[in-house]
């Protein structure tokens, strides 16, 4: 059996979708996602014949405490987005509790797009003689990946900076072929991100703004 932890409900659902696609030809495979916001009674039903359990730390811990999730047969423990799961003040206490509930004989995988040294030190608590598969820290670019950037002059008026950055972004999007794009906007005000999305849409790049102010 496999237990996979993810830092958010959205990521847990994405992992579940990928697992179903990969395991589509494995006869009888049962893979389910366990996250907050769903009835515990439904989780109980899904856990009766479950080979791969994917969930958020809080819900997984709750299910183990209630006796609904039996972890005695878990042979693979996966921390997806491990940097987020183990960053200071996040899920460390819950993950430590879950880890202590698992059998001693198991394999542990920690997956992360970013791998700071602080994460490596945390993982020593969960692994014995781990094998690290990492990019070269001095050259983090992936093979086949082309990177483009623009230097935007600073301006004392923040509104002008946003305007200039938007113009430069529009130029990049106009010159570089792409099918989909994800733009991260480091803005203290959500209205700035919305303004950027509106500007992109007005120039023929259909865009939607997603922020913490929106409901899930």
Please report, to the nearest 10 degrees, the dihedral formed by the alpha carbons of residues 57, 61, 64, 68 taken in order: -70
In order along its 216 residues, the chain shows pLDDT tens digits of 999 999 999 999 999 999 999 998 899 999 999 998 889 999 999 998 899 999 999 999 999 999 999 999 999 999 999 988 988 677 989 999 999 999 999 999 999 887 777 777 778 888 888 888 877 666 666 677 777 888 888 877 777 888 888 899 999 899 888 888 888 877 655 578 888 899 999 999 999 988 777 776
Q: What is the pLDDT of residue 138?
A: 66
Report the distance separating Cα 216 and Cα 212, nearest Å.
9
Residue 3 neighbours by CB under 8 Å, 6+ apart: 53, 60, 71, 74, 76, 77, 78, 98, 102
Q: What is the pLDDT of residue 139?
A: 65
Q: Kindly state the tokens that stand for 16.
A: 């579940």
53: β partners: 3, 32
Provide the residue ranges of all domains of the chain, joining segments of one domain with +. 2-123, 148-216
- Would you call 74 helix, strand, or coil by DSSP? coil
Question: Domain 2-123 falls in which CATH fold?
Answer: Rossmann fold (3.40.50)
Q: Kindly state the tokens that stand for 176.
A: 């570089």
Q: Find out whether 7 and 84 touch, Cβ atoms under 8 Å.
A: yes
Q: What is the pLDDT of residue 195?
A: 86
In sequence order, what DSSP letters do the residues of 117-167 get, joined into one string?
A: HHHHHHHTTT-SS-------TT--PPTT-----------SSHHHHHHHHHH
């Amino acid at each position: 059996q496999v237990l996979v932890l993810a830092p958010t409900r959205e990521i847990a659902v994405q992992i579940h979708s990928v697992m179903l696609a990969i395991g589509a030809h494995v006869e009888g495979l049962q893979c389910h996602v366990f996250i907050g916001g769903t009835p515990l009674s439904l989780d109980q039903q899904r856990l009766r014949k479950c080979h791969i359990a994917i969930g958020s730390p809080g819900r997984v811990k709750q299910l183990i405490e209630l006796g609904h999730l039996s972890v005695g047969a878990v042979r693979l423990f996966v921390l997806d987005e491990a940097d987020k799961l183990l960053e200071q003040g996040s899920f460390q206490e819950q993950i430590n509790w879950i880890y202590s509930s698992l059998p001693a004989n198991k394999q542990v995988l920690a997956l992360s797009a970013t791998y700071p040294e602080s994460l490596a030190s945390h993982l020593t608590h969960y692994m014995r003689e781990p094998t690290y598969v990492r990019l070269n820290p001095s050259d983090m670019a992936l093979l086949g990946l082309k990177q483009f950037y623009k230097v935007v002059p600073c301006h004392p008026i923040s509104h002008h900076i946003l305007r200039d950055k938007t113009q430069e972004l529009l130029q990049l999007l106009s010159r570089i072929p792409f099918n989909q794009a994800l733009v991260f906007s480091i803005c203290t005000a959500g209205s700035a991100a919305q303004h950027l999305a509106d500007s992109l849409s007005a120039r023929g790049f259909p865009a939607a703004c997603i922020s913490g102010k929106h409901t899930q």
